[in-house]
Chain A
Amino acid sequence: MASREVALGSAEPFAGTAAGERGLVELCRRGDAEAFARLVSLHESMVYNLSARLLGDGEEARDLSQDVFLQVYRQLGRFEGRSSLKTWIYRIVVNQARNRQRWWRRRRRERSCPIEDMTAADHAKAAATHPDADAPFERLARGERARLIQAAMLKISFDHRAILLLREVEGLDGDEIAATLKIPQGTVKSRLARARDSLREALLSGDGGAL
């Protein structure tokens, strides 16, 4: 596979449209390495960000992202197109992250927190890339808020964390969340309400009063 020579940044012709997505998937099914490289470049940011927020560990998120795209590569032939490719990949991310977290809990019970928090440097680095991060104080405040939010997110359950990230960070609507998590619409609404309340309480119980 001549994969390293492909142009990973030339994904624009396939981005955004359903027809372009179907064409990209079809090319990947035929074993087109360049098409798969475009698919990875289209979704790797989303996959990595969601993985990192779900697991709270950058290195684990990198490993998980690789596993996700490997599963996409192997199972693309089974993708039926009933949901969007993005929703399908979201589902793989959430399922793999859940499995990985269970694995961690089984093998690292001695740790008080099964998954290490991301370091303050990760948040500061992410805050520095924000478009409104020109002012140093604003950058610091944003990094600190991100650290508090991430700490509170790791206190709530995995299901609540997943649905909050899909809704508030990734911007999925109710139908997409239902398709991603394979739960009914009513369950999406009730679980989202409980997850929001859990996050509010987690922030209030910690240092979240500084928000």
Chain B
Amino acid sequence: MSCHGVQGLLSAHRDGALGAAERRAVALHLGACADCAARWRDLSLALDALADVPRLECSGEIASRIFDRIDMENRKPGLATLFRPRGAARPFMLPSLVPAAMVVVSVIASAVFLDRPEPLPPVVQQRQIEAWTQPPSPVPDWGTERHPLFAYGDVSTPRARAGNVVPAYLLEPTGEGTIFLETVVARDGSVSAVHLIGGDFAEAAPLLEALRKERFEPGRFRGRPVAVSVYRLISRMEVRAPIT
């Protein structure tokens, strides 16, 4: 029997599982072959030492620890049982989710409340609404009837058209006092507004009415008609010689 064949049988030889013929052949080979004999000796020593290893003993606490864990697993989950449906597979799930959901909802609500913009004053709101609802103006804001320009620089002065109907007597001084007027000449040459800046309104009322009917060649800014404010000062002061 070869060394390789014998070495393959050493484990079975150790267990006594070989037949009589094989056992005799292995024994003969081990007596004659020093290498296989050393291998057999090492194997026997190793397995004898392994079998002779002292048993490790636990400290005797295993049973009590196991019962503690079984007790813990069988213990009812306290107040959570109030919320638990009968036969629920996860008794801690729902009672834990409810407060968690409440916390999440309260945090989101607080964030939304704190992030809310402050309400704007009514005037600003109205202007914003107008800006949003009205179409954008084709001409600049300045030079319109709401924001007339002054006749200065590149802005030409409106010139009165022929045939204006302001009676002359209205322009003559009939009493004491001064009337200061602003006439807004619109882009089509009409008078869009007449404002009494200074003077007696009752005295100036006929003049104001007449001025509203005036027609002009509109003032222009770089060739484009614009609304222009025209100011008039009508002085009715009577200068008398001092009494000596």
Give A201 to B6 CA distance when docked, in angstroms. 17
**Contact digits for A13-42, partner B, Cβ 8 Å, 1 yes 0 no:** 000000000000000000001000100110
By a CB distance below 8 angstroms, the chain A residues around B71 are: 1, 3
Q: Which residue of B lies closest to A73 (CB)?
A: B70
Contact A129 B66 (CB under 8 A): no
- Interface-centre pick from A41, A123, A146 (highest chain B CB count, 10 A): A146
For residue B67, CB closer than 8 A to chain A, the reply is yes
Is A149 an interface residue when CB atoms closer than 8 A count as contact? yes
Chain B residues within an 8 Å CB radius of A58 = 56
A49 to B45, CA, bound (A): 21
Q: How many A-B residue pairs have CB under 8 A?
A: 124
Judge if B159 is at the interface, Cβ distance under 8 Å.
no
A65 close to B (CB within 8 Å)? yes
Q: Does A180 contact B (CB under 8 A)?
A: no
* Pairwise interchain contact B11-A4, C-beta atoms closer than 8 A: no
Q: Which residues of chain B from 134 to 164 have any CB-CB distance to chain A below 8 Å in the complex?
A: none
Closest chain-A Cβ to B65's Cβ sits at a distance in Å of: 5
Interface code B39-65, partner A: CB below 8 Å = 1, 0 otherwise?
100110111011111111111111111
Given contacts A149-B53, A193-B8, 20 further A-B contacts (CB under 8 A): A1-B71, A3-B64, A37-B63, A41-B63, A44-B58, A45-B55, A45-B57, A66-B69, A69-B66, A126-B53, A130-B54, A146-B53, A149-B49, A164-B50, A168-B47, A168-B50, A169-B53, A196-B46, A199-B47, A208-B46
Q: Are A146 and B46 in contact (CB under 8 A)?
A: no
Output the nearest chain A residue to B17 by Cβ-Cβ distance. Answer: A189
**B133 on interface, CB distance cutoff 8 Å:** no
Which residue of chain A is the closest to B54 with respect to CB atoms? A126
Q: How far is the CA of A192 from the CA of B66 in the complex (A)?
A: 34
Task: Please indicate the chain A residues that have their CB under 8 angstroms from the CB of B106 in the complex.
Answer: none
A3 to B62, CA, bound (A): 12
Residue contact B66 to A66, C-beta cutoff 8 Å: yes
The answer, yes or no, to whether B234 is at the interface (CB within 8 Å) is no
Q: Report B64 CB to chain A, min CB distance, Å.
A: 6
The answer on a CB contact under 8 Å between B64 and A4 is yes
Which single residue of chain A is at the shortest CB-CB distance from B55? A49
Cβ distance B103 to chain A, nearest Cβ, rounded Å:
33
Residues of A within 8 A of B49 (CB): 145, 148-149, 211
Quick one: CB contact mask for B1-19 with A, threshold 8 Å, 1 for yes? 0000000101110100100
A166-B74 Cα distance, complex, nearest whole Å:
34
Q: Is the CB of A1 within 8 A of B74?
A: yes
Which residues from chain B contact A142 at a C-beta distance below 8 Å? 52, 54
**Quick check: A203 and B42 within 8 Å, CB to CB?**
yes
A-B residue pairs in contact (CB < 8 Å), sample of 21: A1-B71, A1-B74, A4-B67, A37-B67, A49-B55, A53-B56, A61-B58, A66-B66, A118-B56, A126-B54, A145-B53, A149-B50, A149-B53, A164-B50, A168-B51, A169-B50, A189-B11, A193-B10, A193-B11, A196-B14, A208-B46
A residues contacting B by CB (< 8 A) are 1, 3-4, 8, 33, 37, 40-41, 44-45, 48-49, 52-53, 58, 61-62, 65-66, 69-70, 73, 118, 122-123, 126-127, 129-130, 133, 142, 145-146, 148-150, 152-153, 164, 168-169, 189, 192-193, 196-197, 199-200, 203-204, 208, 211
Q: Which of B12, B51, B67 contacts A1 (CB 8 A)?
A: B67
Report B-chain residues with C-beta under 8 Å of the C-beta of A122.
Answer: 56
Q: Which of B146-187 contact A (CB under 8 A)?
A: none
Choose among B46, B49, B67, B70 the residue with the greatest number of A CB atoms under 10 Å from its CB: B46
* A83 to B59 Cα, complex, angstroms: 29
Q: Which residues of A contact B60 (CB under 8 A)?
A: 8
Chain A contacts of B65 at CB under 8 A? 62, 66
User: Which residues of chain B have C-beta atoms less than 8 A from A65's C-beta?
Assistant: 58, 62
Find the residue from A3, A164, A204 having the highest chain B CB count within 10 A.
A3
Report chain A residues within 8 Å CB of B69: 66, 70
A196 to B52, CA, bound (A): 15
The interface residues of chain B lying within 8 Å CB-to-CB of A1 are 67, 70-71, 74
Query: Is the beta-carbon distance between A48 and B53 smaller than 8 angstroms?
Result: no
Question: How long is the Cα–Cα vector from A197 to B11 in the complex, in angstroms?
Answer: 9
Taken together as a complex, chains A and B put the C-alpha atoms of A33 and B71 apart, in Å, by: 11
Which residues 65-81 of B sit at the A interface, judged by CB distance below 8 A?
A: 65-67, 69-71, 74
